[in-house]
Chain A
Amino acid sequence: MKLSKKQNWQRLHSRFEPGFMRMLLLSVAIHVLLPAFYTGLLYFSPPKEKPPVYRVNLVNKPVKNPQAGRPEASQKKQETVKKTQPKASPKPVVKPKPKPAPKPKPKPVVKPKPKPVAKPKPKPAPKPTVSKADEQSLAQKIDAMRRQKEREDRIAKLKEDLARERDKVVSPVVDAPVGEITGKGDEEGIAFASYVKAYITEQWRYSPYLGNNLNLEAVWVLVYSAEGQLVHKKVIAKSGNRAFDDSLLRAILKSQDLGRELGEKTEFEVTFNLREMQN
């Protein structure tokens, strides 16, 4: 007796314990999920925050319009200046000379170059007298001179490229900001704000042994005159720790004279904390 497909399936089904298929499916699912669990594919890993990069500028002096960005960026600016130099440089060389004899002198300077090429030109007049061999040797000489010039130019260019490559400044930290973050400016150096920050930091002495709490923060407003003198100080928020607050007062008292002009009266809101000492 032939059984239909449905009957066959029912017969097969009846051979197993009730719930067997469900268990089988569950087992398959677990076996599929197990490697995923093991390899950590199912775990959510939040993106790790990049640690803050602290850059200390020990060399640059403050300027009014600090050039921004990375050392590479500042280098680029230098390059653009260099490119314009060739145009500007001949002028001062030529200018002093033309003054005593303005026109005649530059001409001999410029003409000598075409002359070797030009000289053979006037000679064509006595062409018939010049033999073909002479003409050929002259052409060869000119050709050799041209090649020599080309080679010299190429070597000079290579040397220039090499020097540029050697002077190239590369930041050790790929995406770290350097200089001022604003990205604008026309002078290399640091802003007055950075100078004031460095100056006050230098005056601030605080030992971690003064207390076992490094989660301290205080905010001061300091107003400096255009001459760099502290004209007003006000505490906005105290830390609540006497040793910490005293150390700040000492630092501010030591920073009464910045030793440099600011150019204009400036108000600074300075936040003091120990974040860098917490690690």
Chain B
Amino acid sequence: MAGLAGCAGTGDPNDDSTQQNGGGGGGGNGTSGSSTTEGPAMADAVEVWGWDVAAKSLDLINDPYVEEHGGEVTITQIGRADLKDKFKSTLLSGSGAPSAAMMESVDAASWVDTGGLRDISDWLSESGIKDEFVSGKWGPLEKDGNTYALPWDVGPVGTFYRRDVMSEHDIDPSSVETWDQYIEEGKKLPDDQYLLNLPSNDYDGLWRMMFRQLGGQPFTENGAVNINSEKSLQVARILKRIRDSGVANDLASWSSGWFTAFGEGTTASLTAGAWMEGTLKAELGDTSGKWGVFKPPAIESGGPRATNWGGSNLTIPTQVSDETARRAWDYMAYTLGQKEHQLTMYEEYGIFPALKSTYESDAFDQPNEFLDGQEAGRMFADIAPEIPPYRYTIDTPAVTKAVNTHFRDMMNGGKSPKEAVDAAAQQVADRTDRDLA
């Protein structure tokens, strides 16, 4: 039974991780005395949790960081949903958290509200890098004047389209300015081809994107529910027109059928964050060169065309020791706050930096092969600083739910757009004990 006991206990060879923070670095590593840090005591080891390409992009910065700042970096790659479950479990049980973890802006407000995240305000003001980030990013990372995370990437939105399909049916996306024009153009497509996909399980995504584009806020400064505002109603009407015009397909987002439709060109365009290009490239490699992208249509003529979809940050849990936290901050400021490293991540994995100073780089002027040589990076870099701020709160999930529920009703003809936004606002107000704006 010796073998069994060894495997189940602590004999696993892969197990030189540093999960118990403050416990020091990994066991077996013999290279001691390599720490070259200055200032107050900093732990040697830093473990960061991230998902997908974001985690991989951090790996690129390991060597330069260790070379310049010493220490020992472990990047743990965990699936997105899994990372959230795992990280939240450690936050709520007060043990086992990593030195730092990836956090989406959508989740930020409610995670900050648990009190499990560390206030990094002092370090942030000391470093003086706050102003170098896109200002729209900070809102959800702050609470009562304190800051709890450092921005990483943004998702400036563009409308990706199949060049071949559009030109075949004589549609010129570059001349499109508003959603109404785009819908009209879309009617040129035959019955079995759709201009875009409007998934009935995910109305809130498109709604939030357009609402933010108009500068809408789901909650007022006083915390009152504001999703029945005039701007929200405008968006609801547009979505309803898209559905009624028959130009929209209805496939569940991210399902294989959804991808298939883009691959076959039966869905001709997709409005999403800049990161979507990487996804399309990976999933539908065959279609390389057949794609293009343009700024998302405005809600009304002459209206703003900058908005955001997605985006993450790095945060430090309260439960880790001060030494570990200091190391984690040092690492975050290095990887997220320095231009060259953010550019490395962008060039290698298309992670679009929230760090404004990077936008001057000519890395954004490179022709993109997948997009038929279009210099899409520059377009997104122009959009990014224009992204309006958006007030994510702990009640963001309630908004998501209410919008989905009542917009579905609206699409089926059960409610008018006005009734739908009012009902959604009422539902949020009821469930969260807030007032209506």
To the question of whether A and B form a pair in one complex, the answer is no
Residues of B whose CB lies within 8 Å of any CB of A are none
